[in-house]
A and B are shown apart, each in its own frame.
Chain A
Amino acid sequence: MNPIVSVEHLSKSFGGLRAVHDVTFSVEQGIVLGIIGPNGAGKTTLFNCMAGLFPPTSGTVHYEGVDVTGWSDAQLARAGMVRTFQLMRPFGSMTVLDNVAVAAAARGANERESLQQAWEILQQVGLDHYATRTSKDLPTAGLKRLELARAMALQPKVLLLDEVLAGLVPTERQPVIELLLSIRDNGVTLLFVEHVMQAVMALSDKVLVLNHGEMLAYGTPNEVVNNPEVVEAYLGDEVRNADS
């Protein structure tokens, strides 16, 4: 089976700083890939390169067999590779329904269709109570769902989720994880950057570990957890964080 996303020798530098260096991996359709690593490991940079926020310094990204290196994020989103933001970014003055409908419209749906789809998605993510509220009135957990709902309205094949659980208390996490699993069950490939290790282990089929911009390990959660290099890098970082 051909991979839906493959990244080859991807590097990104800012000025003299190497944020991501020579990362290569590929993902099959329907897989959940967790990307982990200590702070500053280059996870978000890797995401941004893949999602088209800025082009990589070198290397390529293929999506559905097409070289999409250098595509804009809007082009990729319309093609079905969509990212969400760690800090929620709703269109504050719009209603929750319109937030989602506008994404469906960006995909090309007409007004009726986009409203209808938005409504269905809101029911699916459990935001239907808030449909006619302005989105800036939503609590954090609601905004996280809205972020997901908006991405789903694009009928994505690949979702790039940046710390979708961050800022949620543990009781709020479980419903979101279940939501993610149901999205995956619809055949959507999920790539997610996450700090909550428990969630990474529970959700991921594969795990990619970054450290100082380089790929440290790539494999099943079990393989990765038992990799001594990973333990050193990760725990070392955790210990240092605890010290400071």
Chain B
Amino acid sequence: MADKLIQTIPSPIKSRRFFDGNMIALLIIIMVAIPVPLLLQAGQESVAIRIVIFAILGLSWNIMSGFGGMFSFGHAAYFGLGAYTSSILLVNFGISPWIGMAAGMVVAAIYGVLVGWLCFRYKLKGTYFALATFAFAEMLRILVQSAQAVNASVGYNVPLIKGSSWWYMQFPAGSSNYFWLGLILLAGCLLATILFARSKTGKFAVAIREDEGAASSIGIPVLRYKLTVISISAAMGAVAGVFYTQFYLFIDPDLAFGAYRSIEAILIPVVGGIGTIWGPLVGSLLLAPLNDITAAILRNPPPFLDFMQGQSGLDVMLYAVLIIVVILFLPKGVFGTIKDKVKRR
């Protein structure tokens, strides 16, 4: 310590390059992921796609609640607004899902800002804020469910086209293009997260999360940045919704706005690591294949589990146990815990 004091301390300010560690990691991930669909067997592709959808949804939640500290329990709203906006435009007007996606992002962002503004105006925080977002998402679900104008509880089927089209985001079943399309979207969301985390907005968001009063006292316009963060997160959630609809070719009020979607959005970053860039991706890699693995086990159970064959419920039980184990033993998530361990060395 003493000799440290005498030394002049070198400035810790490194010239920040555009291609920092995170960017390089992103490039590597993309490179590794591109050939994946060529290696997968039939049927495994849907797992890969689910990883992508989960990751985008998780990244979206992570922006608002991980970095921004505004606990969202209604992320289904953004997902659903994206899915519905693009479906309506596509089914009724034949508009490309790309444009639908842009429109969905805008609609979700507007909704997010509106709800957020209402909540902050009335000073809802923490638990109350979470419950309010939940209530608004549920109201959306109930309203959509009974609105004939948007097909009520029937939902939308994406009209099938012949052949494959990047413009209409539609490919023959089993086409690798679906995965590559998802990869493009996921890479975009990861890039957005990296840029967000190092941007002024990202820094302000973290400052506000840590101490709103102190952030305001140093001149950060708290409300404006909170709403900005929500709108980024909402737009990202809409992307997940659009891609979901285009892959499964179907959406209904429960799939879009159901509470389970909101829970999914929370689980992914929690398992991976809240408020970290890579947490949601790690979380989705762990969570998305889980259903398939348990389903596979149950279809062909090892001898000691014979009695389970054909029984439903076990898959979700395993899921629940995994969540409990992760939260109890890795409270910072898988990636978050590893990151902490590495840092401490």
Name A's B-contacting residues (CB within 8 A): 51, 53, 72-75, 77-78, 82-85, 89-94, 97-98, 101-103, 105-107, 111, 115-116, 119, 128-129, 131-132, 150-151, 153-154
Separation of A27 and B19 alpha carbons in the complex (Å): 50
B321: interface (CB < 8 Å): no
Partner-contacting stretch, out of B53-61, B141-149, B210-218, B265-273: B210-218
Q: Which residues of A contact B179 (CB under 8 A)?
A: none
Distance of B103 from chain A, by nearest CB (Å): 33
Separation of A91 and B12 alpha carbons in the complex (Å): 19
Q: List 10 A-B contacts (CB under 8 A).
A: A74-B218, A90-B210, A90-B214, A91-B211, A101-B203, A102-B218, A103-B219, A131-B9, A131-B12, A150-B218
Separation of A101 and B220 alpha carbons in the complex (Å): 12
Tell which of B214, B222, B275 has the most Cβ of chain A within 10 Å.
Answer: B214
Are B13 and A115 neighbours in the complex by a CB distance under 8 Å?
yes
Q: Which residues of A contact B218 (CB under 8 A)?
A: 74, 77, 82, 102-103, 106, 150-151, 153-154
Interface 0/1 of B150-170, CB less than 8 Å to A: 000000000000000000000
Q: Which residues of A contact B222 (CB under 8 A)?
A: 74
- 3 nearest A-B residue pairs (beta carbon): A77-B219, A91-B210, A89-B214
Q: Which residues of A contact B9 (CB under 8 A)?
A: 128-129, 131
Partner of B214, one of A85, A107, A132: A85
Contact status of A91 and B207, CB under 8 A, knowing A74-B222, A82-B217, A103-B219: yes
Contact status of A93 and B210, CB under 8 A, knowing A74-B216, A111-B16, A129-B5: yes
Q: Which residues of A contact B275 (CB under 8 A)?
A: 93
Are A73 and B206 neighbours in the complex by a CB distance under 8 Å?
no
Separation of A207 and B67 alpha carbons in the complex (Å): 44
Q: Which residues of B contact A51 (CB under 8 A)?
A: 217
Interface 0/1 of B169-212, CB less than 8 Å to A: 00000000000000000000000000000001001101100110
B94: interface (CB < 8 Å): no
Separation of A51 and B218 alpha carbons in the complex (Å): 11
Q: Which of B213-266 contact A (CB under 8 A)?
A: 213-222
Q: Which residues of B contact A74 (CB under 8 A)?
A: 216-222
Contact status of A105 and B217, CB under 8 A, knowing A74-B222, A115-B13: no
Contact status of A89 and B211, CB under 8 A, knowing A72-B216, A74-B216, A103-B219: yes
Are B203 and A98 neighbours in the complex by a CB distance under 8 Å?
yes
B11: interface (CB < 8 Å): yes
Are B12 and A73 neighbours in the complex by a CB distance under 8 Å?
no
Distance of B345 from chain A, by nearest CB (Å): 15
Separation of A128 and B5 alpha carbons in the complex (Å): 10
Are B200 and A105 neighbours in the complex by a CB distance under 8 Å?
yes
B121: interface (CB < 8 Å): no
Are A73 and B216 neighbours in the complex by a CB distance under 8 Å?
yes
Residue of B nearest to A110 (CB): B200
Separation of A150 and B4 alpha carbons in the complex (Å): 24
Are B13 and A106 neighbours in the complex by a CB distance under 8 Å?
no
